């Protein structure tokens, strides 16, 4: 069983709240859910933003298809005209069309019923009720959610919204011959966005400070942490800009706090110098890079995967760092945990690369693997040391030196952005090329050690296929859904990207023809793999205009 619903209307008509409430209803009924919204970078005025909700009794990873859906809920005339030809059933305000045009139309007096319940603004709640009436879903789960959602605004408002939903449900059910039955499937499932997965994974991994400046699509991480972080002992700070954010994060991490920051491409540009500082003073920081269309302001509310090459070489100079790209929303929980452990074990910056599609989509999460949240702090020295013997930047075989934090007796040292010796003393005022060579090589030796901690690419789909799709990050999500129906295909999905586990990557890529699938113009992963492994792809299937791939698109293109 599978159902796809699209709720469409103008920004300001409640599409966002209607979409999320609908997704929550079906997750409470025990179904697998995936939901994604598309909107413009304005508060009001976009005539046909939408929220697409996909419901299934089996595991799903993406929004499914663009080309058709089962039910359209149109909150205005423009939405009705733009999307009705793709839907089997259409719920709309009967005031928007005097006479139904054909089969499957469900004209409900949304405005009149909302006014009857108490306020025109509740048209979206009437529409959700009508949707549940059409599908044969009882009002119970929605009523509970409304009370939880609106309860703080007063019991009266909550009850008015429940009444509005009930009237919408009753109106839809009066239309004979179109009611389906959606029974409760099982225990309620947890519904979360990619941004929430990153935030929760970070909290479970011991993060105690998050500093950021608002920038879509990274902002939802900060919004969620501002609400729930203090309950876990985590402070959230909105800095004045991204330069301040990265430097505050470095300062906290230097003091021993697990700390992170997050931004999108334009803000990441401003963080480059800070990343270099973190690498030079060997301080662990985590940066969530949430991609959107660029360059410059670009497409503020559209998705893209165009920052991969930049993330491979941020800032000037050469230094060790790590790039991880979670490939499902559930994996966002574990990618965050790995990022903090890698950062501390090797005393390097770690970039967790996602995008708008990943951050803002919602999905249901099944069982959580709690074993993946074990905290590893590496060479962190917490007991007293002998100051005369302690060398913060000691030359070691792995490149990782013993690290103390302020307050550890005997652990005093200099942390400077200039090149330095093992104790941290600056060498730029006394030309010592041998020492520069040794310290630079020490830091870069970490990459070899990190490589052993980087997982092999995920190989999914049927075994023994001659053709494999090549992907990274969120583009894997529609690909995983495609593989459930295309048994002739497999996929090689890169999650731990830099430094590359070359042996494991070469093994995963061997023996198959490759179709590179990315949401950027150049095929940046393919370019990277060509450089690192000499691997060529047979074909590229690329998008760069702000939309994620859908299953029906991939079905046609590959």
The answer to whether 541 and 517 have CB atoms below 8 angstroms apart is: yes
One domain, residues 137 and 11 = yes
One domain, residues 362 and 347 = yes
- Domain membership of residue 404 as a residue range: 379-453
- For residues 49-77, b (16+ Cβ closer than 10 Å) or e, as one string? bbbbbbbbeeebbbbbbbeebbbbbbbbe
Tell me if residue 260 falls in helix, strand or coil.
strand
CA geometry: angle 32, 356, 522, nearest 5 deg: 115
**What whole-number percentage of the chain has pLDDT above 70?**
98
Does a structural domain hold residue 182? no
**Helix or strand holding residue 492 (H, E):** strand 489-494
Closest-CA residue to 129 (of 115, 98, 108): 108
One domain, residues 367 and 427 = no
Task: Give mean pLDDT, residues 409-423.
Answer: 96
Q: Which of 305, 339, 373 is the last residue of a domain?
A: 373
Question: Is the pLDDT assigned to residue 429 strictly greater than 60?
Answer: yes
**Helix or strand holding residue 267 (H, E):** helix 265-280
* N-term to C-term CA, the chain: 25
Tell me if residue 190 falls in helix, strand or coil.
strand
Task: Give mean pLDDT, residues 78-85.
Answer: 93
Does a structural domain hold residue 179? no
One domain, residues 119 and 263 = no
One domain, residues 222 and 351 = yes
Task: Give mean pLDDT, residues 112-129.
Answer: 96
Does a structural domain hold residue 186? no
Q: Which of 342, 373, 404 is the last residue of a domain?
A: 373
One domain, residues 144 and 197 = no
Question: Is the pLDDT assigned to residue 179 strictly greater than 70?
Answer: no
Task: Give mean pLDDT, residues 130-147.
Answer: 93
Please report the pLDDT score of residue 394 as a whole number.
98
Interacting residues of 164 by C-beta distance below 8 A, sequence separation 6+: 113, 114, 117, 118, 122, 125, 126, 129
One domain, residues 201 and 281 = yes
One domain, residues 7 and 155 = yes
Question: Is the pLDDT assigned to residue 391 strictly greater than 70?
Answer: yes
Task: Give mean pLDDT, residues 148-168.
Answer: 88
Residue pointed to by tokens 């105690």: 208
Does a structural domain hold residue 107? yes
Please report the pLDDT score of residue 174 as a whole number.
86
- Reported as a single tens digit per residue, the pLDDT across 311-345 is 999 989 999 999 999 999 999 999 999 999 999 99
Does a structural domain hold residue 80? yes
How far is it, in rounded angstroms, from Cα 130 to Cα 140? 14
Tell me the CATH number at 115.
3.40.920.10
Question: Is the pLDDT assigned to residue 452 strictly greater than 60?
Answer: yes
What is the pTM assigned to this prediction? 0.96
Q: Which of 140, 173, 206 is the last residue of a domain?
A: 173
Does a structural domain hold residue 187? no
One domain, residues 134 and 24 = yes
What CA dihedral angle connects 38, 44, 48 and 50, to 10 degrees?
A: 30
One domain, residues 166 and 280 = no
Tell me the CATH number at 527.
3.40.50.920
pLDDT class of 180 with cuts at 50, 70, 90: low
Does a structural domain hold residue 181? no
One domain, residues 348 and 420 = no
- Reported as a single tens digit per residue, the pLDDT across 515-532 is 999 999 999 999 999 999
Report how many domains make up the chain.
Answer: 4
Question: Is the pLDDT assigned to residue 177 strictly greater than 60?
Answer: no
One domain, residues 369 and 391 = no
Does a structural domain hold residue 305? yes
How far is it, in rounded angstroms, from Cα 471 to Cα 493? 5
CA geometry: angle 364, 365, 366, nearest 5 deg: 125
pLDDT class of 152 with cuts at 50, 70, 90: low
Please report the pLDDT score of residue 34 as a whole number.
98
Task: Give mean pLDDT, residues 370-374.
Answer: 95
Question: Is the pLDDT assigned to residue 428 strictly greater than 90?
Answer: no
């Amino acid at each position: 069983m599978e159902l796809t619903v699209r709720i469409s209307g103008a920004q300001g008509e409640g599409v966002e709240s209607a979409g999320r409430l609908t997704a929550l209803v079906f997750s409470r009924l025990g179904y697998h859910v995936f939901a994604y919204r598309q909107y413009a970078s304005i508060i009001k005025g976009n005539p046909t933003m939408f929220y697409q909700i996909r419901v299934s009794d089996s595991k799903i990873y993406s929004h499914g298809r663009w080309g058709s859906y089962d039910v359209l809920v149109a909150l205005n005339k423009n939405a009705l005209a733009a999307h009705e030809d793709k839907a089997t059933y259409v719920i709309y305000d009967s005031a928007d069309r005097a006479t139904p045009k054909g089969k499957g139309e469900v004209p409900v007096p949304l405005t009149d019923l909302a006014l009857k319940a108490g306020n025109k603004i509740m048209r979206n709640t009437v529409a959700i009720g009508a949707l549940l009436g059409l599908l044969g879903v009882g009002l119970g789960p929605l009523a509970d959610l409304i009370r939880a959602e609106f309860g703080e605004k007063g019991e009266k408002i909550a009850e008015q919204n429940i009444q509005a939903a009930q009237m919408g449900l009753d109106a839809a059910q009066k239309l004979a011959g179109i009611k389906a039955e959606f029974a409760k499937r099982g225990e309620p499932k947890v519904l979360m966005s990619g941004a929430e997965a990153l935030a929760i994974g970070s909290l479970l991994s011991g993060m105690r400070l998050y500093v950021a400046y608002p920038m879509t699509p990274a902002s939802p991480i900060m919004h969620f942490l501002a609400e729930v972080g203090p309950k876990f002992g985590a402070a959230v700070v909105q800095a004045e800009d991204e330069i301040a954010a990265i430097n505050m994060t470095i300062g906290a991490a230097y003091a021993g706090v697990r700390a992170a920051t997050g931004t999108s491409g334009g803000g990441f540009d401003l963080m480059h110098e800070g990343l270099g500082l973190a690498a030079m003073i060997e301080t662990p920081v985590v940066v969530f890079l949430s991609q959107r269309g660029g360059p410059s302001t670009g497409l503020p509310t559209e998705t893209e995967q165009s920052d991969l090459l930049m993330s491979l070489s941020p800032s000037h100079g050469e230094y060790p760092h790590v790039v991880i790209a979670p490939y499902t929303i559930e994996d966002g929980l574990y990618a965050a945990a790995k990022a903090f452990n890698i950062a501390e074990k090797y005393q390097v910056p770690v970039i967790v690369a996602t995008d708008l599609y990943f951050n803002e989509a919602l999905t249901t999460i099944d069982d959580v693997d709690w074993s993946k949240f074990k905290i590893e702090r590496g060479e962190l020295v917490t007991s007293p040391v002998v100051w005369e013997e302690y060398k913060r930047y000691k030359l070691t075989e792995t490149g990782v030196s013993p690290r103390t934090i302020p307050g550890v007796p005997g652990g005093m040292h200099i942390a400077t952005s200039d090149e330095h010796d093992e104790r941290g003393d600056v060498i730029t005022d006394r030309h010592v090329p041998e020492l520069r060579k040794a310290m630079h090589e020490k830091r870069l030796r970490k990459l070899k050690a990190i490589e052993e901690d980087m997982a092999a690419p995920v190989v999914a789909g049927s075994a023994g296929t001659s053709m494999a799709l090549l992907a990274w990050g969120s583009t894997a999500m529609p690909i995983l859904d495609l593989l459930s129906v295309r048994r002739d295909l497999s996929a090689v999905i890169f999650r731990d990207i830099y430094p590359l586990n070359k042996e494991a990557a070469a093994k995963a890529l061997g023996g198959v023809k490759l179709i590179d699938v990315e949401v950027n113009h150049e095929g940046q992963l393919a370019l990277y793999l060509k450089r690192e492994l000499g691997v060529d792809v047979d074909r590229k299937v690329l998008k760069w205009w702000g939309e994620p791939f859908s299953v029906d698109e991939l079905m046609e293109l590959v």
